[in-house]
Each structure stands twice: as C-alpha cells, then as structure tokens.
Structure 1
Amino acid sequence: MARITVIGGTGYAGASIVREAAARGHEVTAYSRSAPAEPVPGVRYEQGSMLDDEVRARAVERADVVVSALSPRGELTRELLSVDTRLGELAAAAGVRFGVVGGYSSLRPAPGAPRFADGDLPPEFAAEGRTMAAVADALLSAPEGLDWFFVSPAAQYGAFAPGEATGAYRLGGDVAIADADGKSVISGADFASAVVDEIDNPKHHRMHFSVAY
C-alpha cells in the first residue's frame, strides 16, 4: 500500500485516479480548492490553493507518490508551470515520486518531431496545451534526484467522452498512439488504471509516456 496524494483530486482526471487508487487499498489524499460533490469513502480530502507554498509542502510531506492532475485554469492559468516545478522540487527534497497528468498536445506526431503544442492548435486549446507542454519540457531538467513521470492521455479523453472501463490499454512513449483506424481514444477509468499501474509497478522513470487503446 502506498500513500498517494493527488493534487487536483476533484477534477476529471484527478477524481478518476483517486477512485482507482482507493479501490486498490492505497492511502489516498486529494487536494483541491473545493470539497468534492461525491467523496470517495476512505479518501482524505484537503482544501487549499497550490499557490500557497505551505499547502504544497503539506501535500508532499506525507506522501510516497504525488500526482499533479492540475489544469492551467482559474488562478493557475499563468501559474501552473511554476506550481508543478515547485511541487517537483519539494518531492525531490523529500524523496517522493512525482507524476504529472499532461494533455494530448504534449505528445509528438513522430519520434523527435516537435510536440503538437508547438504547432497550430485550435484557439480554445492552445494556451492550455502549450502550458502543459512547457511542464513536460521543464521536467527534463528537473533535479537529478527526482523520480518523475509525465503521462498523456489519448486525443479523445475527458468528461465529454468518459467511455467505459475495459481493463485494457496500450502504452507508448511521447509519441501519440492511434488505432488501425487512426483514432486516439482512452476512457477515464482505463487512463486512471494506467496511472495507478505505474504507481504500483513503476516502469517509466524520468519519462513521458502515453496511454490509449
């Protein structure tokens, strides 16, 4: 059993990871700015702003693994890069593993190619996509002692297309995964399963990986 702290634990990705980790018997703490509408039994919920360094330190200090599932929205619109960087610093100092849930735009269309975020994105996704890509790039120069992973879902992932739990998924590196028909899809439940599988059986150390069917 691991002590897992999920930052942004009431958002779409974070809440799914919280549910999956709790179902496996882990000791789970979720941090968010507001209380959950449907709390998961056995999960400890904490409220606070990640702009407060005392809150960030508290989130890291009792954990074996910290997963940041934050989005660059609201008060974090321009601050997420610095917040995730600071969480990584705290995790490195404490010997805590650090994971970040990124976005599809942080991936590349081919090995060595620029990230999708470096190209033309729809205006409604551009700012968030480029911020998460910047977080992925920043982790490449994270302190040597930080055991981090950055995980990106498929293109079709989110509350608009929750899908169903199938118990199956494919893993890739930082290159986008698609099926034989060119579709890139993953359900919320199966993405969460992949993240918790990485916590239970670490395979991606200081690596960016992707999850899709």
Structure 2
Amino acid sequence: MARIAVIGGTGYAGRNIVAEAVNRGHTVVSVARTLPAERVEGVTYVEGTLLDVPSLVAELEGVDVVVVATSPRGDMAGKMRPAIAELVAALPADVRVGVVGGAGGSLSEPGGARLVDLDFPEEYKGEALEAIGVLDDLRATPAERDWFFVHPAEIFGAWNPGERTGSYRTGGDVVVRDAEGVSNLSGADLGVVFVDEIEQPKHSRERFTVGY
C-alpha cells in the first residue's frame, strides 16, 4: 500500500480521490487550507497550502505520491502554476506527482486543436491555460521525476457528481467521448482513475484524458 497525500483533498476532485484511496487500504493524508467539518474515516487531515511550499513539504515527509487537486481560481489564480513548480522541485526525487488538470488542454481529435482554443467558455479559459502551463512545467522536469497529469471529461464537476461505476476509458491526448459525442465522468470515477494509476502505473511522465 502507498502513502498518498492529496493537496486540495477537501475539494470536489480531491475528496473523491481521498475516499477511493482510503477505501482501497492506502494511507491517505488530505491537505487543505482549512480542516473540514465532515471527515472520511481513516484519513489524516492537515492544514497546508501551496502558497507556503516549505511548510507544505515538511507536512509531506514520508509520502510516496503527492496528488495536486487544486484549482487556479480565486486567490489561487495566477499563483498555482509557480507554486506547483516550486513544490515539485522541493519534493524528494522518488516521490511521484499526480495532477488533476482540466478538460481544456485535451485535443479535440488526433492532431487537432485544444478544446480551450475552440468554443470554450470564456470564464474558464484562464484556469484552463494555467493548468496547461502546469503540464508544460512538468514536461520540463528532470527525467528522474515521475509524474502523471489527468484531463477529466468536459462534463465533470460538483454540479454533475454522477455515481461510481468503476469503469472509464482513456484517450491519450484526445478528449474521450461516448457514442453520442458526450464527454462525461463522475467525481467518484476520477478517484478510481487516480488510484488505478497509483497502484498500476501506466502513464509515467505523461498526460492522459479520461471519460466514459
């Protein structure tokens, strides 16, 4: 079993990853700026923020995998990318890093345009571009740094929680759509995606898309 830390572990994506990991028997540390009133049994909750990387790294001592499930919005807008780069550089070389990206960096088709460059909601473009910048920074890290970056489906979020099916498809660089052209994924199944990748790594230093 792995010791997994989830930064942003009380947010929508983060808490689903936390729940799936602890249910599978992993040791899980949920890191957030405030401690939640409702907690998942078996999870260790600590206060921490990407905006204070030295203190955060001290809290993460001994973990095998660090998952970053924060969003570049509010007071994190424009700050998340440099903070993640600082964190990755400060972590021990043998700690694997996983990042929850957005759908915007997915390609519309093989060799096609990114979703963010097509008919993409204007209010979310800044977040999408910052997440893409995080991916660019990960790709520039030394070869010994292992990481993976996940693009959830277009229809993904607390407004559409869905259910845990335990199944999903991956699409490499291309957005995953079903037979009706819909790109969808529940929060619980994003948790499945992350813990599957942690338990059986298939995307070393790669990004990949997921959906039904």
TM-score range, shorter chain: over 0.9
Quickly say closer, same or farther: Cα 1:122–1:209, change in 2 above 3 A. same
Alignment map for 1:31-50 (pairs within 5 Å): 31-50=31-50
Aligned partner of 1:111 in structure 2 is 110
CA distance in structure 2 between the partners assigned to 1:184 and 1:156 by the alignment: 6
CA distance in structure 1 between the partners assigned to 2:181 and 2:158 by the alignment: 21
Percent of pairs identical after alignment?
48
The SS at the match of 2:150 is strand
Q: Which amino acid aligns with 2:196?
A: D
Cα shift readout 1:7-64 (whole Å, capped 9, x = no counterpart)? 0000000000000000011000011011113111111111122111222312442210
Contact 1:115/1:133 (<8 A) preserved:
no
CA distance in structure 1 between the partners assigned to 2:86 and 2:70 by the alignment: 13
Aligned partner of 2:73 in structure 1 is 73
Contact 1:60/1:87 (<8 A) preserved:
no
Cα shift readout 1:128-180 (whole Å, capped 9, x = no counterpart)? 11111111122111122110000011111110000011121111212101011
What is the count of residue pairs matched by the alignment? 212
TM-score (norm 1): 0.94
Quickly say closer, same or farther: Cα 1:37–1:174, change in 2 above 3 A. farther
Structure 2: gaps of 5 or more residues: none
Per-residue deviation, 1:112: 3.1
Aligned partner of 2:97 in structure 1 is 98
TM-score (norm 2): 0.95
The answer to whether structure 1 residue 25 and structure 2 residue 25 are counterparts is yes
Aligned partner of 2:142 in structure 1 is 143
Aligned partner of 1:186 in structure 2 is 185
Contact 1:118/1:130 (<8 A) preserved:
no
Aligned partner of 2:63 in structure 1 is 63
Aligned partner of 1:10 in structure 2 is 10
CA distance in structure 1 between the partners assigned to 2:93 and 2:137 by the alignment: 19
Per-residue deviation, 1:196: 0.4
CA distance in structure 1 between the partners assigned to 2:162 and 2:46 by the alignment: 28
CA distance in structure 1 between the partners assigned to 2:160 and 2:49 by the alignment: 28
Per-residue deviation, 1:67: 0.3
Deviates more, 1:150-159 or 1:121-130: 121-130
CA distance in structure 1 between the partners assigned to 2:84 and 2:148 by the alignment: 12
CA distance in structure 2 between the partners assigned to 1:53 and 1:153 by the alignment: 26
CA distance in structure 1 between the partners assigned to 2:59 and 2:183 by the alignment: 33
CA distance in structure 1 between the partners assigned to 2:88 and 2:54 by the alignment: 14
Structure 1: gaps of 5 or more residues: none
CA RMSD of aligned residues (A): 1.4
